[in-house]
Amino acid sequence: MIFLRLFLEFVKVGLFTFGGAYGSIPIIRETVLSNAWMSDDLFTYILGVSESTPGPIMVNTATYVGNTVGMQATGTVWGGFFGSVCATLGVVTPSFIIILLIAALLRRFMEKKPVRAVLDGVKPCIVGIILITAIHLFAACLFPGLANSFRLSGLDTRALIMILLIGAGRSGWKMWKKRAASPILTILAAAVLGVAVYGV
């Protein structure tokens, strides 16, 4: 059953995610693609929406993926609703249980040197995973056919212009205001540009 499968797959995502929300993106992507739930392009689109809407990106992405998969499987809005509930519950359940255990039993355990050594060893791996994910998303935005052909062909010039405009805008803001531009303003500016360039 698709709802149980969504729950179990996202339990694995929640269980093996280290390094915060961005560390979950490659795991969710691998889960989605290996189950053939959607294309890489659609997942990238969902990821953009998840990043732009309020809330943790891991939870938002799980909710949107669950909704999309549930609707595709059942053909109903209710299927999308239950799919999003199952995926969201799945992704938060491991963290919820682990935090309860740490708070109740394992606080002193987490302070032991071997445990800290393991966690310190995981950190560089997480940085690499996040960096590779960022490079993949950047390339997928510029070359929409990358997911299917694995070739850097078919440059999306509109996406390139948007990236350059946003980058120039942030640099200009920093020079003018002597501080970095707000991420909220950057997201709003990108949304306005996206509507203007690609249409609603």
The model scores a pTM over 0.85: no
- Between residues 145 and 10, the one the model is more confident about: 10
DSSP conformational letter for 106: I
pLDDT above 80: residue 200:
no
Which residue has tokens 């609707």? 71
The sign one gets for the Cα dihedral 123, 128, 131, 137 is: negative
Q: Please, are residues 16 and 27 in contact by the beta-carbon 8 Å criterion?
A: yes
- The stretches of the chain forming alpha helices (DSSP H) are 2-16, 21-34, 40-52, 57-74, 77-101, 107-110, 113-142, 146-149, 157-177, 183-198
Instruction: Name the band, by pLDDT with cuts 50, 70 and 90, for residue 37.
Output: very high
